[in-house]
């Protein structure tokens, strides 16, 4: 669906609870394993439909929560279904990395026995992050922000301010990387380089240059 169709989509048939939420059960599309339970409001559901990545509503933070935005463990939507009462959602997803913050593939890794809760199995060995894949996923999120311009989002602010503001931030973050490197602080370097990568991706989106084009150019440099 395009943005206009999603905005016009009638969701009045959903039985939202008193807080405007509906539970979302998340299932791995390939293994059929139940991964987690979260909640959605109307805004997060529409965003999920638009971006095809699972977006939930965090009851603790009282804000939208794009699964994987900070960890890189995105959930690509394969299918969305409602139960017969229309008061619960079933998401079928392609899970990147782990669904659980405790480093398990599924959040349902506790077994209830007569002795209480026991962990089933061992935590998964988290694979080394793939920088190229993470940059690609982040680029997709930035592209969606550019299309939607959600109110209050920092990325929306940058796009609305325009190329001069974006380039100023790229320059500022480049200087911060240099300072961090001079300070020889690995943690500071990691954070500042991440900030620089993000702002460069915003610049690429604004100038309509894809990360795949940059990757192709980098491949030429290997010769």
Q: What are the residue boundaries of the structural domains of the chain, listed by start?
A: 3-119, 131-220
Other CB atoms within 10 Å distance of the CB of residue 220? 7
Residue 78 above 70 pLDDT? Answer: yes
**DSSP per-residue string spanning 157-197:** HHHHH-HHHHHHHHHHHHHHHHHHHHHT-HHHHHHHHHHHH
Other CB atoms within 10 Å distance of the CB of residue 210? 13
Average pLDDT over residues 134-138: 83
In whole numbers, what is the pLDDT of the chain averaged over residues?
A: 88
Residue 116 above 80 pLDDT? Answer: no
8 A C-beta contact, residue 180 and residue 192: yes
List b or e across 8-39, with b for residues whose CB sees 16 or more CB atoms inside 10 angstroms: eeeeeebebeeeebbebbbbbbeeeeebbebb
Determine how β-strand 89-95 pairs with β-strand 22-28: parallel
DSSP class of 210: -
Average pLDDT over residues 60-77: 85
CA-based nearest residue to 202, from 168, 175, 151: 168
8 A C-beta contact, residue 71 and residue 55: no
For the stretch 186-201, pLDDT in tens is: 889 999 999 999 999 9
Residue 80's DSSP bridge partners are 91
Give the pLDDT band of residue 136 (cuts 50, 70, 90): confident
CATH of domain 131-220: 1.10.287.1080
Under CATH, domain 3-119 is a member of which superfamily? Phosphoribosyl-AMP cyclohydrolase (3.10.20.810)
For the stretch 194-223, pLDDT in tens is: 999 999 999 999 999 988 889 888 888 876
């Amino acid at each position: 669906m395009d943005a206009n169709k999603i905005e016009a989509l009638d969701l009045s048939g959903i039985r939202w609870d008193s807080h405007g939420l509906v539970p979302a059960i998340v299932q791995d599309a390939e293994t059929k394993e139940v991964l987690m339970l979260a909640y959605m409001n109307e805004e997060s559901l529409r965003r999920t439909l638009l971006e095809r990545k699972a977006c939930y509503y965090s009851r603790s933070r009282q804000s939208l929560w794009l699964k994987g935005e900070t960890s890189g463990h995105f959930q690509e939507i394969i299918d969305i279904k409602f139960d017969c009462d229309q008061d619960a959602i079933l998401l079928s997803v392609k899970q990147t990395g782990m669904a659980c913050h405790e480093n398990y593939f599924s959040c349902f890794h506790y077994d209830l026995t007569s002795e209480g809760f026991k962990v089933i199995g061992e935590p998964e060995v988290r694979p080394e992050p793939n920088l190229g894949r993470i940059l690609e996923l982040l680029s997709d999120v930035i592209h969606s922000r550019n299309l939607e311009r959600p109110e209050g989002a920092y990325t929306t602010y940058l796009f609305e301010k325009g190329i001069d503001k974006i380039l100023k931030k790229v320059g500022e973050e480049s200087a911060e990387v240099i300072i961090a490197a001079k300070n020889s602080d690995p943690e500071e370097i990691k954070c500042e380089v991440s900030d620089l990568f993000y702002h460069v991706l915003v610049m690429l989106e604004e100038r309509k240059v894809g990360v795949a084009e940059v990757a192709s150019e980098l491949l030429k440099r290997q010769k």
